Amino acid sequence: MERPVLLECRNLWKVYGHRPDQFLKEHGGNPSGDALRRAGMIGAVRDANVKIRQGEIFVIMGLSGSGKSTLVRCLSRLIRPDAGELIFDGQNILPYTDKQMLDIRRRRMGMVFQHFALLPHLTVLENAAFPLEIQGVPRAKREAQAREVIELVGLKGREDYYPSQLSGGQQQRVGIARSLAVEPDLWFLDEPFSALDPLIRREMQDEFMRLQAMLKKTIVFITHDFDEAIRLADRIAVMRDGRIVQVATPQDLVLSPADDYVAEFTRYVPKSKVLTMGAIMAPGAAAGDVAGELIVTDRVEAVADRIERADGMFNIRDEEGRIVGHVGRAVIIDILVGRSSAA
């Protein structure tokens, strides 16, 4: 059963230039690239259609200038789209006033950006509690709530530190704690780890997945790093020139690219990183020795060593706990060396 949709955009446009609303009307709400160029307009987001479901990590990716950051700013109404619909929790928020949107962002949306934007004169505790202070939450309550999220992100004991006393990874954790303090329904993250060095970045990805496993937030996450995207995403939207080219699971994106652009984008991704047990298993329970059990969503990369070391087959269970297939060492080896038809 599909999870309910929390955020949806329909035929969303953001055009930069002279009188974009009039320009869009003159072209029936769907101008061509040639029409945009002739008019000297820039189609930063062009006819975007996306459904983001409750509890999923939805990654938006593309090359620089593809429109991914502009799309997220439209989805959060930090900038106002020029046309289309933006449905949040069943309501079209596109026509909402700035005051209405400010209230929604303060109470129902969390945001983390590449640059931490911590207030240097405030402590970790004060930075984390700041959104609640803006809401007028009493000091004792907001500090108690801030202490909870500070512990959640692994910074307990550093409540009285200032940002200058923290590492880059710790500063980003404060940014995450601050965005979580308001207990958002929808969480936007715009390349939050790209300014970190590779080791800290990997640690922050681990931390992010740990938090998501506990909190089950609805997350819109921007990255230009495909390895990061396939590690984190339930689904990925690939953008090019302001348009969404394809929306798919990491596995489907790699195995069934919509066009040559997506194929080139994913060409060098090892299939073991995206293939799941559900994609490679043989149907039915194993007939011989059973070495263990896995679930259909386990990725090859995560369980390959375990399967290779075992003598017997592994039964595969679906999310309801039913045995739906089995897999053995030979299939895994074929995938790792590129012999599998799935690879």
- Count the neighbouring beta carbons within 10 Å of the beta carbon of residue 256: 12
Q: What is the mean pLDDT of the chain?
A: 90
Boundary residue ending a domain (270, 288, 322): 270
> Is the per-residue pLDDT at 49 higher than 90?
yes
pLDDT of residue 287: 87
Instruction: Dump pLDDT digits (tens) for 214-254.
Output: 889 999 999 988 888 988 999 999 999 999 999 999 999 98
Boundary residue ending a domain (270, 298, 327): 270
Say whether both 117 and 260 belong to one domain. Answer: yes
Query: What is the pTM (predicted TM-score) of this model?
Result: 0.86
CATH number at residue 292: 3.10.580.10
Say whether both 159 and 184 belong to one domain. Answer: yes
CA 270 to chain centre: 20
Say whether both 193 and 292 belong to one domain. Answer: no
Boundary residue ending a domain (270, 297, 319): 270
> Is the per-residue pLDDT at 267 higher than 90?
no
DSSP tag of 2: P
Say whether both 210 and 72 belong to one domain. Answer: yes
Q: Is residue 11 part of a domain?
A: no
Residue with tokens 């790209």: 194
Residue 169 tokens, joined: 């990874």
pLDDT of residue 160: 95
Return d(Cα 340, Cα 343) in angstroms, integer.
5
Q: How many CA atoms lie within 13 A of 332 on its CB side?
A: 23
Say whether both 310 and 217 belong to one domain. Answer: no
DSSP tag of 1: -
String of DSSP letters for 5-35: EEEEEEEEEEEESS-HHHHHHHTTT---HHH
pLDDT of residue 53: 96
Q: Is residue 231 part of a domain?
A: yes
Say whether both 263 and 130 belong to one domain. Answer: yes
Give percent of the chain with pLDDT exceeding 90.
Answer: 62
pLDDT of residue 339: 64
Residue 138 binned pLDDT confidence (cut-offs 50, 70, 90): very high
Q: Is residue 41 part of a domain?
A: no
Q: Is residue 35 part of a domain?
A: no
Return d(Cα 100, Cα 271) in angstroms, integer.
45
CATH number at residue 64: 3.40.50.300
Q: Are 338 and 330 in contact (CB under 8 A)?
A: no
Number of domains composing the chain: 2
Residue 306 binned pLDDT confidence (cut-offs 50, 70, 90): very high
Say whether both 58 and 203 belong to one domain. Answer: yes
If we measure between CA atoms, which residue out of 322, 202, 233, 332 comes closest to residue 275?
Answer: 332
Say whether both 194 and 292 belong to one domain. Answer: no
pLDDT of residue 113: 79
Instruction: Dump pLDDT digits (tens) for 154-170.
Output: 899 999 999 999 988 88
Say whether both 305 and 247 belong to one domain. Answer: no
For residue 315, the enclosing domain spans 272-337
pLDDT of residue 341: 54
Return d(Cα 27, Cα 269) in angstroms, integer.
39
pLDDT of residue 58: 97
Q: Is residue 7 part of a domain?
A: no
pLDDT of residue 227: 86
Q: Is residue 333 part of a domain?
A: yes
Return d(Cα 248, Cα 233) in angstroms, integer.
10
Instruction: Dump pLDDT digits (tens) for 179-220.
Output: 888 888 999 998 888 877 888 888 888 888 888 888 899 999
Say whether both 328 and 192 belong to one domain. Answer: no
pLDDT of residue 59: 96
Instruction: Dump pLDDT digits (tens) for 280-300.
Output: 999 999 988 899 999 999 999
pLDDT of residue 336: 85
Residue 116 binned pLDDT confidence (cut-offs 50, 70, 90): low
Residue 125 binned pLDDT confidence (cut-offs 50, 70, 90): very high
Q: Is residue 12 part of a domain?
A: no
Q: Which residues pair with 248 in a beta bridge?
A: 236
Q: Is residue 166 part of a domain?
A: yes
pLDDT of residue 342: 58
Say whether both 251 and 296 belong to one domain. Answer: no
The β-bridge relationship of strands 243-248 and 83-88 is: unpaired
Residue 76 binned pLDDT confidence (cut-offs 50, 70, 90): very high
Say whether both 115 and 203 belong to one domain. Answer: yes
